[in-house]
C-alpha cells in the first residue's frame, strides 16, 4: 500500500511540474555514423574570465556546443538540462560549452548566467564562428561533438531533454555507429573546404 501511495504521489508531482512539456517529447536521435562525422570547425573565443577557449582543448571529451541567446525563450528551456548534464556527466568526460549570440555581449550574458546559476563555460559568439558552423540563423542550435573532436549530431531548434541525454550517453559509452564505407574524407583541413550537413531535427513551419 505504501508503495502504491508513493507511486501516486510521484505521479501527481510529475503532473504538477512547471517544467516545459518539451522535456517529455519523444526521442529525435540524430547521431551520425562515424564515417560521416566532420571535425568541428576551429575558433578562438574568450570565456567570462578572458581565457581563450578553443575546441582543441576539449579533445578526448564529449562536448555539447550550444548556440543560444538571452532573448531566446526556447534556449531558456534547455539551459537547466545542460546544467544538469554538465554536473551529471563531467566525471565521464563530458562538458557543455555555451556560445551566446547576444549582440550586447557580456553586458547581458553575465547577469543572465549569474541569475540562473549556469555553471558551465560560456563564450560570446561572433559572425565568423557562426559562419564556420554553417551559418547559425536560428536559435537554439546545438552541436554534439564526440571525443575525437568531430560533430556527431546537430540540432537546429529545440529537441527533448531525453534526446540530448541519450546522445550524450551513447557518445560517452563510445557506441560506434558505422556508416557506409563509400563516404569520403571526414576531416576538414583546407581553407574554404565545405562540408555539407543537414540537421535532421530542423523543422520548418
Partner 1 sequence: MSLLCFAPQAFGQSKALAQGRTETVKAKLGGTVEVRIPLELREGFHVNSNTPADKTLIPLKITWKEGFLGATEVIFPKPVMEKYKFSKDLLSVFTGNFEVVTKFKVAPTAPPGPIAINGVVRYQACNDNGCQFPTNLNIAVQVMLVR
**Residues interacting with partner 1, by CB under 8 A?**
18-22, 38-39, 41-42, 69-77, 101, 103, 108, 112, 131-135, 137-141, 151, 156-158, 188-189, 191-199, 202-205
> How far apart are CB 193 and partner 1 at their closest, in Å?
6
> How far apart are CB 9 and partner 1 at their closest, in Å?
21
Distance between CA atoms of residues 165 and 160, nearest Å? 9
Say if residues 60 and 147 touch (Cβ distance below 8 Å): yes
Q: Which is nearer to partner 1, 93 or 187 (CB)?
A: 187
Q: Which is nearer to partner 1, 1 or 16 (CB)?
A: 16
> How far apart are CB 196 and partner 1 at their closest, in Å?
5
> How far apart are CB 95 and partner 1 at their closest, in Å?
20
Query: Tell me, what DSSP letter sits at residue 32?
Result: P
Q: Which is nearer to partner 1, 11 or 19 (CB)?
A: 19
Q: Which is nearer to partner 1, 80 or 179 (CB)?
A: 80
Q: Which residues contact 80 (CB under 8 A, 6 or more apart)?
A: 19
Residue that the C-alpha cell 548556440 belongs to: 67
Q: Which residues contact 13 (CB under 8 A, 6 or more apart)?
A: none
Distance between CA atoms of residues 23 and 163, nearest Å? 9
Amino acid at each position: 500500500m505504501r508503495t502504491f501511495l508513493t507511486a501516486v504521489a510521484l505521479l501527481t508531482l510529475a503532473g504538477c511540474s512547471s517544467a516545459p512539456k518539451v522535456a517529455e517529447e519523444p526521442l529525435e536521435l540524430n547521431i551520425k555514423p562515424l564515417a560521416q562525422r566532420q571535425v568541428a570547425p576551429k575558433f578562438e573565443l574568450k570565456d567570462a574570465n578572458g581565457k581563450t577557449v578553443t575546441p582543441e582543448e576539449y579533445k578526448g571529451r564529449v562536448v555539447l556546443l550550444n548556440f543560444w541567446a538571452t532573448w531566446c525563450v526556447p534556449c531558456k528551456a534547455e539551459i537547466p538540462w545542460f546544467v544538469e548534464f554538465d554536473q551529471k556527466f563531467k566525471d565521464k568526460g563530458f562538458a557543455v560549452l555555451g556560445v551566446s549570440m547576444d549582440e550586447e555581449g557580456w553586458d547581458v550574458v553575465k547577469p543572465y548566467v549569474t541569475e540562473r546559476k549556469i555553471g558551465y563555460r560560456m563564450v560570446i559568439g561572433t559572425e565568423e564562428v557562426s559562419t564556420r558552423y554553417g551559418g547559425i540563423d536560428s536559435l537554439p542550435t546545438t552541436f554534439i561533438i564526440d571525443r575525437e573532436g568531430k560533430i556527431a549530431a546537430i540540432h537546429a531548434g529545440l529537441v527533448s531533454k531525453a534526446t540530448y541525454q541519450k546522445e550524450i550517453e551513447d557518445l560517452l559509452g563510445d557506441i560506434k555507429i558505422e556508416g557506409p564505407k563509400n563516404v569520403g574524407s571526414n576531416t576538414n583541413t583546407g581553407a574554404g573546404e565545405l562540408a555539407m550537413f543537414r540537421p535532421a531535427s530542423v523543422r520548418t513551419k
